[in-house]
Structure 1
Amino acid sequence: IFPLCRMLAALVFALCSECRGVLISPSSPSIPDVDECRTLPGACRGDMRCVNQNGGYLCIPRSLYNQPYRPETPALPEVTYSDPSEGFPDAFRPPPPGPVEPSYPIVRSTAPCILGYTLAEDGTCSDIDECTANSHQCNPTQLCINTAGGYTCSCTEGYWLVGGQCQDIDECRYGYCQQLCANVPGSYSCSCNPGFILNPDSRTCQDVDECEDEPCSHGCFNTYGSFMCNCDEGFELASDGTSCIDLDECGFSEFLCQHRCVNTPGSFSCICPPGYYVFDDGRSCEDVNECDTGNNTCTTAQVCFNFQGGYTCLNPLQCELPYVEVSDNQCMCSAEIPACRDKPFTILYRHMDLSSGRSVPADIFQMQATTRYPGAFYIFQIKSGNDGREFYMRQTSNVSATLVLSRPIKGPKEVVLDLEMVTVNNVINFRGSSIIRLTIFVSEHPF
């Protein structure tokens, strides 16, 4: 069995020629340690120092390295092995006991606190506030923030870290405010345009309803960021944009009313001259027929004749000799009477009204023969009253003619025309005439 044990031991030494921290050689009487602190580059990082141990290494803070350490545990005995070439003994013999001086500090079971902590009176490790102790390495422009076991360097709100320095953030550049923005060191200030107020979030703006304060004298219409005033009908907005002044509608046009326009607050009214009333449209004037309404001064013996803007009372017809009355409006002179031979056979009285300044030419009256004789023809003419040549006769057929107004006549005026119709019959050698005595009442107004 012992030769078999030797073979197994040789195989173990061959397979485990090098273990972490220990170099094993079958020909070596002991297991030499490997110094990782020298063989491993950067074994410990930061403020830690590498301390080699038998079969490994430790990383401990440099501040603790120089503290004295007293080993409280017995040193490990050095293990020796017999030379395999001499064969294995029947049993492993333990090495003689004796202290061995270690090549590294021994950490006690109550180890000191790690970096960033300090030993408290109760034996626990408490965090070191480097910021309060002013043991940090933060830039003067930076803010020290204590953390568990350390600290961080940051910038206050409104600043950011650029190249190790805290620089102001221009919040206005990034649209922090909805409308107006003013950058200040470490912060910013938002404001709003006229017509807006700042919301509680201090960033966005809300429209102000100016109409709630009733800035307009009449009506108010709120708009986004402003307001508009409007006025009632018949008023216009003043230059201040809020008050309303009366609109003088009468000054717009002289044709607003047919006669005269009177301005009223917010409106206007049309008035008509005596003898007229305001029509339903509120602007034009209509004649008052005093003869129909009874609002006249004519006697029972007189005849009331209405014309535009007034009336007249016509006395009963009185025919001048040698004429005699044959009807209410006609006088006749018989041919049997010698005094009537050179006079018109009949005189027919007619009346009409005419508006002042009536446009011309205008057909205003028509004459026509009522009795026709075989072989006779008729001549129509103005015998008298046309001193201003405002009229002329236009024959429309062999038995009729029309009176034409050729020039405007301004009233009030009364014009009397004798319109003559001459009857000529060459067969019986007859010539006679009849007169229509036309009285025209020209009104004072053109309506």
Structure 2
Amino acid sequence: THDLLNSLRQVEKMLALHETSYQQGLRSLRKKINALHNSTMAFFKMASCPKPDPPANGRRLGRVFAMGHEVHFLCKPGYELIGPRTRVCLESLKWSGQQPMCRSEIGTLSFLCSHGVSLGLNSTANSLASFSSAASSFAALSASSTTTSSSLASSPTPSSPSSSVRPSNCTHFLGSTHCTCDVGFTISGRDNNICTDIDECHLFPLAQPGRLCIHQCVNTPGSFHCVCPPGYSLSRDGRSCTDIDECENLSHNCTADRLCVNTFGGFKCVTVKCPKTKNATYIKTSPMRCERNPCMFGDKACTQAPNSISFHFLAVVSNMSAPRVLFRVSAARVLGDTLRFGLAGGRGRGHFSVQRSGRQTGTLLLVTSINGPATLEAEVEMSELENNTLLGRYLTKVTLFVSPYMF
């Protein structure tokens, strides 16, 4: 115990020495950082451009002349600024551009008059046109001034702002020109002076995964919009189409004795009727079900007829992937020892198949895709047997309405 205590005291002294050394190093580092900060601030304070003089008959805006800062220049009323409106303090500690000057507008008019421009009060329209032309030429001489123009010298001017061709927005500064276009337009022309509409519908066709619209894309100047076929409404995203349920909102024209079935892009008016056969008679026990009346004793033809016939209507889209489960038929109770499922008939049997999916359940499968519009029928038969003797047949008629669209 005594040796352990001595060891702990030695470790404590060593840690105290390390702590003292760390604190001294930290104080020294802080002093160096402060000195570096002060020297840096002093450098930035010294790194400034000389104070620019305001132009005669004008004034300067801005009191900070450090590197990277700007100053602006304005002229008094009746004077025109010749030169850049803004100058920047460069890394070389020199101001960008040339020193601007303010020229009297009277002097400008004298200059134009000396170049053969008529400025009489009774000037004709041609004189005014020549004055505008000369003024434009004079403005072009001031290449260092910052102006925003929308020029289309060699191109036809569009009749309306919604045209697919518009002039570009050009900025002239220090002898260089930078032109931009509005959103949805791309710059073109020999001098980048034309903005041409981007056809988003052409860039993203329907066949590509990144298509803009699920159905039809209509290009507009600077943008686009999506259109849906009849029976659909445009979704909130502005690109997808949502089916309109005509049966639910009562916009169908089905009569009272017919049933409205909503489909993708429309609706169908169907009539559910019980079959009329000489072997058996049926009565409608519900809007979608017919039951066979009891057979006479010994009437084998009647007992071979289905005990019940159910009607079901399904709406699907075109070219739906296959195989796909469409419908399931189940027996509520089983009296015999065997239950069988199969296809009894219907139009388009080559598209369907029936499989056993449980002890009392059979499944109707779509095995090949269907290109709409189309109407197909499948009859699923469920037979109940006892010692290979038929106890009853139950028929389910499934009608498939295939939309002409894939959505």
TM-score by structure 1 length? 0.50
The gaps in structure 1 that reach 5 residues or longer are 1-195
Tell me, yes or no, if the aligned pair for 1:319 and 1:325 is still in contact at 8 Å.
Answer: no
Residues 260-296 of structure 1 show CA distances to partners (whole Å, capped at 9, x for unaligned) of 1111111111111111111111111111111122211
SS in 1 for 2:148: helix
1:303-354: per-residue Cα shift (whole Å, max 9, x none)? Answer: 2111111111123534424222222211122452424222111110111111
Q: Pick from 249, 271, 277: which aligns with 1:293?
A: 249
Aligned equivalents of 1:224, 1:366: Cα separation in 2: 78
- Checking the alignment, whether the CA contact within 8 Å between 1:377 and 1:399 is kept in structure 2 is no
Query: What is aligned with 2:282?
Result: 323
Q: Deviations over 1:335-382 (max 9, x none)?
A: 524242221111101111111111122212111112222x52322212
Residue type of the alignment partner of 1:315? T
Q: Tell me if the contact between 2:97 and 2:174 (Cα under 8 Å) persists in the aligned partners.
A: no
CA RMSD of aligned residues (A): 2.7
2 CA distance for matches of 1:282 and 1:224?
45
Contact 2:149 2:169 in 1 (8 A): no
Larger relative helix fraction: 2
Give 1 or 2 for the bigger CA radius of gyration. 1
Match of 2:319 among 349, 352, 357: 357
After superposition, give the CA deviation of every residue in 1:135-186 in whole Å (9 maximum; x if it has no partner).
xxxxxxxxxxxxxxxxxxxxxxxxxxxxxxxxxxxxxxxxxxxxxxxxxxxx
- Matches of 1:287 and 1:408, distance apart in 2: 21
Query: 1:425: how far off?
Result: 2.3
Pairing partner for 2:226 from 270, 273, 297: 270
Indicate yes or no: 2:201 matched with 1:245: no
SS of aligned partner of 1:298: coil
Q: Shift of the alpha carbon at 1:222?
A: 6.4
The alpha carbon displacement at 1:424 in A equals 2.2
- Could you tell me which runs of 5 or more consecutive residues in structure 2 were left unpaired when the two chains were aligned: 1-95, 102-141, 153-166
Structure 1: distance between partners of 2:272 and 2:348? 27
**1:155 aligned residue:** none
1:311 to 262, 267, 271: 267
The separation in 2 between residues aligned to 1:280 and 1:258, in whole angstroms, is 13
Name the structure, 1 or 2, with higher relative contact order (CA <8 Å, separation 6+).
2
> Cα–Cα, structure 1 residues 236 and 391, in superposed 2: closer, same or farther, change >3 Å?
same
Give a deviation string over 1:71-129, Cα, whole Å, max 9, x none: xxxxxxxxxxxxxxxxxxxxxxxxxxxxxxxxxxxxxxxxxxxxxxxxxxxxxxxxxxx
Residue identity matched to 1:424: L
Equivalent residues in 2 for 1:397-408, closer than 5 Å = 397-408=358-369
What is the deviation of 1:386?
5.6
Corresponding residue SS for 2:201? helix
| Cα distance, 1:335–1:430 mapped onto 2, change above 3 Å | farther
Deviation at 1:220, TM superposition (A): 4.3
Aligned to 2:342: 381
Select which of 165, 172, 176 maps to 1:226. Answer: 176
Look up the SS of the partner of 1:446 in the other structure. Answer: coil
Report the equivalent of 1:208.
144
For 2:8, the equivalent position in structure 1 comes to: none
Alpha-carbon distance in structure 2 between the residues aligned to 1:200 and 1:313? 82
Distance 1:324 1:294 in 2: 29
Match of 1:425 among 370, 373, 386: 386
Over 3 Å counting, the alpha-carbon distance change for 1:232 and 1:200 in structure 2 is closer
Contact 2:148 2:171 in 1 (8 A): no
Counting only pairs closer than 5 Å after superposition, residues 86-105 of structure 1 correspond to structure 2 as none
